[in-house]
Amino acid sequence: MTNMTKLLDLKNNLVIAINQNNYTKEDNYKKVCYLYTDNITNNRINTFLKIDLTKEKLPSRAKRKCSINSIIYSSVRPNQRHFGI
């Protein structure tokens, strides 16, 4: 696992990898799909914001890259259940 921070969950004998892959200017993407964490609830994605980077900038809080089977969660208000895979 490249650019990942690993945590050991001793209670459940699991190794958890936290994504540290960030967007950079060197990535040179033309388009991205941005997900506000309030648009994912109980593993259901309501909508993505499709951003054409040739015409507009990413939101300043758009930092992390994700891939298939990534776990996405918001720790701001856990009671609102903004999480999914």
Helix (H) or strand (E) holding 12: none
Asked if residue 46 has pLDDT above 50, the reply is yes
Average pLDDT over every residue of 62-82: 73
- Distance CA(24)–CA(33), nearest Å, equals 15
Residue whose C-alpha is closest to residue 63's, from 35, 31, 39: 35
Identify the CA nearest to 31 among candidates 49, 48, 50: 50
Rounded distance, CA 32 to CA 38, Å?
Answer: 18
Residue in the structure block whose two tokens are 């208000």: 77
Give the domain ranges of the chain. Answer: 22-84
pLDDT in tens, 31-40: 998 888 778 8
pLDDT single digits (tens) 17-32: 776 788 888 888 899 9
